[in-house]
Amino acid sequence: MDGIYRALLEAYGPQQWWPTAAEDGPEQRFEICLGAILTQNTAWRGAAAALENLRGAGATTPEAILDLPEPVLGELLRPSGYFNAKARKVRAFCEAVLDAGGIDALLAGDADEVRARLLALWGVGPETADAMTLYAGRKPTFVVDAYAYRLFERLGRPPGKRDYDTYRTYFLGKLGTDVWTLNQWHALIVRHGQQICLRTKPQCDACILEPRCEFTRGTSAQDEA
């Protein structure tokens, strides 16, 4: 694992995640959580455009978002796809923030506590909860996503079946609890998946992980057959 991490870090450098417009503080933590909801089943570009719309409408706090009629909120979130469902999820999250007494209260406690609290919210699944816990709460957890499944299956190093908890438990056990490292791991996997280890046409010739990848051995053998 260390070798893969070092290679990715060397190739791409430290990643500045999570991308936000707000300065460090509660507003930034709230924005990160909104982004984690808005990027569900969509590329980050769409989520970022929806966040920009919210900023343009002055809706950067739970109170301001809840003041918007739901159809208006839906229109602002349209670039993120599934915008009516996301409007309901965002509203539910804003209500949870206010019920908790603020974003910092919602994110207070150790990683397991925060994650369980977030998972209990409507519209928040494991990937979203882990993204919020790690990037907004700055608590140790591992975010599993399609890029992680693809990369470790291609490398020939899946920790088991393609299952969220299987991957998360394995990687947390291997990687430890350093928040910066966990932050970088997920961000680097995403960067590699978007830039080099593409879904349909992976750029293996340009890949720093090529010497340790089973996928290329499989495709080379097929090419030679």
The enclosing H or E element of 34 equals helix 26-38
Task: Supply the minimum distance, in Å, between the C-beta of residue 156 and ligand SF4.
Answer: 9
CB neighbour list of residue 117: distance below 8 Å, 6 or more residues apart: 106, 109
CA atoms within 13 A on the CB side of 158: 14
What string marks each residue from 99 to 138 as x (binds ligand SF4 by CB under 6 A) or -? ----------------------------------------
What string marks each residue from 167 to 196 as x (binds ligand SF4 by CB under 6 A) or -? -----------------------------x
Q: Is 216 in the site for ligand SF4 (CB under 6 A)?
A: yes
CB neighbour list of residue 202: distance below 8 Å, 6 or more residues apart: 154, 196, 215
Pick the stretch among 27-35, 58-66, 139-147, 205-213 that binds ligand SF4 (CB under 6 A).
205-213
Nearest Cα neighbor of 31 from 78, 94, 119, 109 is 94
Q: Which of 59, 90, 107, 213 binds ligand SF4 (CB under 6 A)?
A: 213
Pick the stretch among 67-75, 86-94, 130-138, 204-212 that binds ligand SF4 (CB under 6 A).
204-212
Q: Which of 35, 62, 74, 202 binds ligand SF4 (CB under 6 A)?
A: 202
Which CA distances in Å does 149 have to 6, 12, 70, 203?
19, 20, 35, 17
Residue 96 or residue 197: which is nearer to ligand SF4 going by CB? 197
Pick the stretch among 89-97, 99-107, 130-138, 206-214 that binds ligand SF4 (CB under 6 A).
206-214
Give the position of tokens 């089973």.
214
What string marks each residue from 143 to 162 as x (binds ligand SF4 by CB under 6 A) or -? --------x--xx-------
Task: Supply the minimum distance, in Å, between the C-beta of residue 107 and ligand SF4.
Answer: 34
Q: Is 197 in the site for ligand SF4 (CB under 6 A)?
A: yes
Task: Supply the minimum distance, in Å, between the C-beta of residue 89 and ligand SF4.
Answer: 32
- The three-class DSSP label of residue 172 is helix
Long-range contact pairs involving 111-120 (C-beta distance under 8 Å, separation at least 24): 111/137, 111/139, 111/140, 111/141, 114/139, 115/141
Contact 131, 143 (CB under 8 A): yes
Which CA distances in Å does 190 have to 10, 63, 183?
15, 32, 11
Overall residue count recorded for the chain in this entry: 225
Interface contacts to ligand SF4, rule CB under 6 A: 151, 154-155, 196-197, 202-204, 207, 209-210, 213, 215-216
